[in-house]
Structure 1
Amino acid sequence: MACSLLRCPNPFLRNLSTLSLQSRQYHDYIRFATPGGIARVALNSPKIVGIANSRGSRGHQEDYYAFASLSLDPGELSQSVKKTMGVDWNPRDACDLLARQVVFMGIYDGHGGSTVSQYLRQELHGLLESVHKSDIPELYLWIKDIGGYFKRFKGGVLAPWIHKSEDTPELDLEARITQAFFEVDRHLSIETEARSCGATASIVLLHSLDHPATPFFSSDKLALTVAHCGDTRVLLCSTTGGAVFPMTENHRADTRIESIRLRRMMGSALITDSFGESRWMGALANTRAIGDLQYKRFGVTPEPEVRSKLLRGQDWAYIVLVSDGISSVVSDDEVVDLARDAPNPKVAAQRILSFAEDMGSEDNATVVVVPLAGWGKIEGPDKTRALRDYRRRQAVGSERQRRM
């Protein structure tokens, strides 16, 4: 998935991608230290990252995913873990190649078409690697020109760089991610389809703090950063009882964080549709999204919510990323329980997808399972097994009645 766009059939996406390929250093494999030197392993192995996705009953696919190994400035990474986790990490204790390595996982759920979600799959990881603080003043002027909601925008975490980029601090991860998300919208602003087409997005960044550096799936000390827009979800599973720790919250107009943000900046434009669901401007379920350019001036922002967490060794079994084709019919607890005891991440992802389909999901659905050092070491019973068995029986009975 971390591949060139030179073969992409969409000329808009292909032309954009050729602008910055030379400055990118990402790979589809990870490096790690061994007694004999530096080894590498492909990220597309089903034992390293588990992927399952389906179109459901739709005739088209708008869900996409990506994974890559990025090369980021070690000083920036050191500054970020100190700021967000209080951890002193000295990149000079590792070789430069490994100190720079950050594993990227992304899941994108398109709506109104696939232009934006395809662009994210193909470009976001490269943009995140290559953005520079010197571009922020120009980016900020473009954001302000959107008008409406963004007339009052002060730059958020980008504020230190919006008027000048010289004699300013280096970017930290939160600022880098935020700049990359806004840059996607700026690049897409020349594409007509992106006015009415958009995507939600969740990305995971994993950075080993071990000395010598170890792969994310065996790291004793691992920095996790999650950035999120919309209703794709990132779930962290503990080895203690298989407890779920959500790293994201859905960005809907009636949730606390979003309702406060929108009321402060825009007043109220929340409308309940005929199904009883809240819609911003009467049209959008999500109030943060990439694309949907016609709604930006009304408060729909690509500004991600960024969270960080220091993961200690075998305390955590895996991370699961899901689109709403999964989360709309499967609870967070069910998602992590379905993945436990699977022989590898690929099987775990397939189990989650299969259960969602059994529960009647007809939407595009995507699951990404990322193993951590505690893989296969969850203690305690499967909390939701009895409930899942009951739901399956109910679903089978309902299907039989429907066919009669």
Structure 2
Amino acid sequence: MSTALINLVRNGGHQVRRRALLTSRLLQDDKRAAAICPSSTSVRRTSRFDLDGSGRPATWDSFGIWDNRIDEPILLPPSIKYGKPIPKVSLSKVGCASHIGKRKENEDRFDYAQLTDEVLYFAVYDGHGGVAVADFCHKHMQGFIQGFLTEEQNMELVLMKAFLEIDKAYARHAQLSADATLLNAGTTATVALLRDGIELVVASVGDSRALLCRKGKAMKLTIDHTPERKDEKERIKKTGGFIVWNSLGQPHVNGRLAMTRSIGDLDLKKYGVIAEPETKRVQLHHASDSFLVLTTDGINFMVNSQEICDFVSQCHDPTEAAHLVTEQAIQYGTEDNSTAIVVPFGAWGKYKNSEVNFSFSRSFTSSGRWA
């Protein structure tokens, strides 16, 4: 089987390679099924060419192929490893947008890169108290992750170590600086690693978010770190911190910070504001998974997860989608910096909600950090 796959890759265009590979595998599966289950005149045997028993042949879409929506070649080694066709996810197809809103400065940062032959990196950082920590993460996070990838296969542990080490590195940097404001600066961090086009791992601190659109529905990959969470509030109180609600009814750690985990915020470290991320691992199903979206809170407070999923699903390409998401947040009233990264997967363009309404008549009760 491996020899056949290699020959296909060497001898033709990727459209031909994909179809030949699938046809070969499906014929083999049908032959094995026929040997095990004799045909019956009274019960139709459903083959993988006839998934629903309707008599209609399955389309290439049924198997997670990109179906010309975003045309990419099949990754051969991962496809052999996982036993199914896995399309390449190209950085050239990734969409991104960042808008300053009504702030004096855009403290959001975003990044994406190929870290190794197998691993892609995507990240958003939402700075507060200045851009110092967001800039520091933007500049150094890749290096920390690459270093840990050389010694650790578990990407959840890689991200855990990278977050903790970059926080320590920033502390050393701030303490050596004559600028005292660096001690009060911080940032959220939501980072996603994609290995072999199929293994997705996300780590996050703060209230930036990641979501996966699966079969047209939003699948949240992160949970905000805020004082509303009982576990987070208890940690803050146990370490001597306290929660204060402002005039808008928003809780803040020691009256200063709206989140309970971040990178930086050195003055609050002793009060339970930690840099340890929560992580999530997902195996992609390219037949069902349309895209990954990373967003900062300028979007999250105004547009809920399913709305983001619906808006992106209507777009022709990820760049258009990223701009649309930030623009919708602005139309809905955000004043904060707004940043979005959209990463397309195999089912891009496959699931669309015809009922999406791009208007001002919407419910604000479902928006914000609880969405």
- Does TM-score exceed 0.5, indicating one fold? yes
CA distance in 1, matches of 2:360, 2:329: 14
The amino acid of 1:248's aligned partner reads T
Alignment match, 1:367: 340
Alignment match, 2:277: 304
CA distance in 1, matches of 2:304, 2:123: 20
CA distance in 1, matches of 2:194, 2:232: 27
Q: Deviations over 1:280-319 (max 9, x none)?
A: 1111101100011111111111101011111122111111
- Say which SS state the counterpart of residue 227 (structure 1) adopts: strand
Tell whether the 8 Å contact from 1:358 to 1:392 is kept in structure 2 after alignment: no
Give yes or no for the alignment of 1:177 onto 2:142: no
Alignment match, 1:51: 96
Q: Residue 107 of structure 1 is aligned with which of 109, 113, 124?
A: 124
Within 5 Å, which residues of 2 pair with 1:79-94? none
Task: Please list every run of at least 4 consecutive aligned residues from structure 1 whose deviation after the TM superposition is greater than 3 angstroms.
Answer: 30-35, 131-134, 260-263
Q: Report the CA distance shift for 1:41/1:316 in structure 2 as closer, same or farther (over 3 A).
A: closer
| Structure 1 position 245, deviation (Å) | 0.7
The amino acid of 1:292's aligned partner reads D
CA distance in 2, matches of 1:313, 1:325: 29
Q: Residue 391 of structure 1 is aligned with which of 357, 361, 364?
A: 361
Q: Report the CA distance shift for 1:133/1:298 in structure 2 as closer, same or farther (over 3 A).
A: farther
- Say which SS state the counterpart of residue 302 (structure 1) adopts: coil
Give yes or no for the alignment of 1:343 onto 2:316: yes
| Structure 1 position 70, deviation (Å) | 1.4
Tell whether the 8 Å contact from 1:188 to 1:194 is kept in structure 2 after alignment: no
Alignment match, 2:201: 225
Q: Residue 245 of structure 1 is aligned with which of 209, 219, 230?
A: 219
| Structure 1 position 382, deviation (Å) | 4.2
Within 5 Å, which residues of 2 pair with 1:224-303? 224-239=200-215, 242-263=216-237, 265-266=238-239, 269-303=242-276
Please identify, of 356-365 and 103-112, the stretch whose mean Cα deviation from structure 2 is larger. 356-365
Q: Deviations over 1:87-120 (max 9, x none)?
A: xxxxxxxxxxx4xx11110000000100110111
Tell whether the 8 Å contact from 1:201 to 1:228 is kept in structure 2 after alignment: yes
Alignment match, 2:16: none
| Structure 1 position 41, deviation (Å) | 8.6
CA distance in 2, matches of 1:286, 1:33: 40
Between Structure 1 and Structure 2, how many residues are aligned? Answer: 278
- Say which SS state the counterpart of residue 228 (structure 2) adopts: coil
Within 5 Å, which residues of 2 pair with 1:153-172? 170=152, 172=154
- Say which SS state the counterpart of residue 349 (structure 2) adopts: coil
Q: Report the CA distance shift for 1:69/1:286 in structure 2 as closer, same or farther (over 3 A).
A: same
Tell whether the 8 Å contact from 1:64 to 1:118 is kept in structure 2 after alignment: yes
Give yes or no for the alignment of 1:205 onto 2:193: yes
**What is the root-mean-square deviation of aligned Cα atoms in Å?**
2.7
Give yes or no for the alignment of 1:65 onto 2:110: yes
| Structure 1 position 128, deviation (Å) | 0.8
Give yes or no for the alignment of 1:326 onto 2:293: no
Relative to the length of structure 2, the TM-score reads 0.69
Q: Deviations over 1:25-61 (max 9, x none)?
A: xxxxx997579xxxx9962x3xx11001111111211
Q: Deviations over 1:314-338 (max 9, x none)?
A: 1111111110011111111111111
The amino acid of 2:170's aligned partner reads L
Identity %: 32
Tell whether the 8 Å contact from 2:149 to 2:155 is kept in structure 1 after alignment: no
Tell whether the 8 Å contact from 2:240 to 2:271 is kept in structure 1 after alignment: no
- Say which SS state the counterpart of residue 248 (structure 1) adopts: coil
Tell whether the 8 Å contact from 1:317 to 1:374 is kept in structure 2 after alignment: yes
| Structure 1 position 353, deviation (Å) | 1.0
CA distance in 1, matches of 2:347, 2:158: 30
CA distance in 2, matches of 1:200, 1:257: 19
CA distance in 1, matches of 2:301, 2:328: 12
CA distance in 2, matches of 1:393, 1:315: 28
Please identify, of 280-289 and 254-263, the stretch whose mean Cα deviation from structure 2 is larger. 254-263
CA distance in 1, matches of 2:232, 2:320: 36
Gaps (5+ residues) in structure 2?
Answer: 1-71, 78-87, 365-371
Alignment match, 2:80: none
CA distance in 1, matches of 2:324, 2:150: 42
Gaps (5+ residues) in structure 1?
Answer: 1-29, 72-97, 135-169, 209-215, 217-221, 395-404
- Say which SS state the counterpart of residue 313 (structure 1) adopts: coil
CA distance in 2, matches of 1:332, 1:132: 31
Give yes or no for the alignment of 1:195 onto 2:169: no
CA distance in 2, matches of 1:69, 1:121: 15
The amino acid of 2:339's aligned partner reads T
Relative to the length of structure 1, the TM-score reads 0.64
Tell whether the 8 Å contact from 1:65 to 1:106 is kept in structure 2 after alignment: yes
Give yes or no for the alignment of 1:353 onto 2:323: no
- Say which SS state the counterpart of residue 184 (structure 1) adopts: helix
| Structure 1 position 370, deviation (Å) | 0.6
Alignment match, 2:144: 127
CA distance in 2, matches of 1:282, 1:393: 30
